[in-house]
Amino acid sequence: MKYLFLIFFINFLPQYAGKSLSRDGNYPKTFEDIKKEIAGYSSIAKAIIDLAVHGKAQNRSYERLAVFADTIGPRLSGSKNLDAAIKYMFSALQEDRLENVHLEPVKVPHWERGEEFAVMLEPRNHSIAILGLGSSIATPPEGITAEVLVVTSFDELHRRAQEAKGKIVVYNQPFITYSETVQYRSRGAVEAAKVGAVASLIRSVASFSIHSPHTGWQNYQPGVPQIPTACISVEDAEMMSRMSLQGTKVVVYLKMGAKTYPDSSSFNTVAEIVGSKYPEQIVLVSGHLDSWDVGQGAMDDGGGAFISWEALSLVKDLGLRPKRTLRLVLWTGEEQGGIGAEQYYQLHKKNISNFDVVMESDEGTFRPMGLAFTGTDEARDIVKEIMTLLLPINITDIYDTADGTDIDYWMRDGVPASGKKVVCISEWEELPELSFRSGTEPQI
């Protein structure tokens, strides 16, 4: 979604710091000046759109991503593949003739899932598809065999706490939204352990399933026993729920060989186009290079990382020099909760006043709808004007809030933030593999 470059027009605008814009509809002349200046960039906008959509850059980000994903493969935090991916991107950004290409050291978690499988033993023999959750401990070497307790919520689990001791808790929570439902993945093991369960299996956090479990990170809590935890498919969660509601005893055998190692050395990868007038001021665009280990990470978040890279490439190819520095950051350790981004923030927050806008591309690579933005009303009015430059490709909507694991630290401190909004097939993250239905191919 090469429309990401729209925010770069902010780089070409002069500063309007300290000039207030009223919200009563009677804007001072300064805002009219801004509107006229933005309109004056229509020829530059057309040149970028023509290059990205019709010119030599057409499909370039997709082709770059295909080579990267096919060559490197999965890029789990702490793995040799992630190291290879970072080296690959460091060289690629240099070859693209971007400026100040460098690596910033960080420490990231190193967890490996090992061998894992589950089998229903009663009322019949049935293989259960599972994916262990990040940071999960292993089962004992002989595995765990236990009766299942199926619940649909944490509230139900606590009401039935006396039934949970010594059992495997299966969460068959309904999907509401990703942000609301994902708490079962992150907290499921902890809540089950509090009531004496020996393991937890969580229905994959997705709106629908093709018998495909999802993985993701989960968090233990100090003082709470650690139990093995994994995700299962929607179909298996529903089946065990139906059996339990009918009064049928369900017994499952679970074996997981997960291991956690000491934190590993890794890097955030950085490149820039240095600003001509305000080089100390930063417009940051980003995506994360790490992925889970059960796929190639093309969607989450190779696509987002390469979209952000492509934005700098487009500006460079047209010989444009922004007034503010355009900085690309390819994060590491996002899947473990934004580990690399947090360390980047801690290193650079002393200069937070120089960060004008932070952007993250990590919501998939489907058809774009517009831009999510968080900032002042005055800034939003400016962004709305900038979006009119994208009318030729019909991507002009503004959404009220932006979010993103890797930019959240800056947003908390009031730095304006934005991210793309897309039309999604379903929750795409952490799938072992992804097939596209006819007519819904990804657009990058």
For residue 123, cis peptide bond before it (omega within 30 degrees of 0): yes
Tens-digit pLDDT profile for residues 98-148: 999 999 999 999 999 999 999 999 999 999 999 999 999 999 999 999 999
Looking at residue 109, its pLDDT comes to 97
- In degrees and rounded to multiples of 5, residue 306 shows phi and psi of -80, -30
pTM of the predicted model as reported, rounded to 2 decimal places: 0.87
| Range name among 72-76, 97-101, 165-169, 386-390 with the lowest pLDDT average | 386-390
- Which residues are 201's β-sheet partners? 170, 230
Distance between CA atoms of 55 and 250, rounded to whole angstroms? Answer: 59
- In degrees and rounded to multiples of 5, residue 280 shows phi and psi of -80, -15
For residue 70, cis peptide bond before it (omega within 30 degrees of 0): no
Q: Which of 235, 334, 335, 385 is catalytic?
A: 334
Determine the longest span between alpha carbons in the chain, in angstroms.
Answer: 76
In the chain, where the domains are located: 2-110+262-423, 114-257
Question: Between 29-39 and 377-387, two packed helices, what is the crossing angle to 10 degrees?
Answer: 30
Give the class (CATH, top level) of 2-110+262-423: alpha beta
Distance between CA atoms of 202 and 189, rounded to whole angstroms? Answer: 9
Report percent pLDDT > 90 for the chain: 74
And the tokens for 372? 């999510």
Distance spanning both ends of the chain, measured CA to CA: 5
Tens-digit pLDDT profile for residues 270-295: 999 999 999 999 999 999 999 999 99
Report residue 82's pLDDT band, with 50, 70 and 90 as the boundaries: very high
Q: Once rounded to an integer, what is the mean pLDDT over residues 402-410?
A: 87
Give the class (CATH, top level) of 114-257: alpha beta
Q: What is the mean pLDDT of the chain?
A: 88
305: pLDDT strictly greater than 50: yes
Looking at residue 287, its pLDDT comes to 96
Query: Would you call 334 a catalytic residue per the annotation?
Result: yes
Q: Does 2-110+262-423 match 114-257 in CATH topology?
A: no
- In degrees and rounded to multiples of 5, residue 338 shows phi and psi of 75, 40
Q: Once rounded to an integer, what is the mean pLDDT over residues 224-245?
A: 98
φ/ψ bin of 199: left (φ > 0), alpha (ψ from -120 to 50), beta (otherwise): beta
Report residue 441's pLDDT band, with 50, 70 and 90 as the boundaries: very low
Buried residues in 214-241 as b, exposed as e (16+ CB within 10 A): bbbbbebeeeeeebbbbbbbbbbbebbb
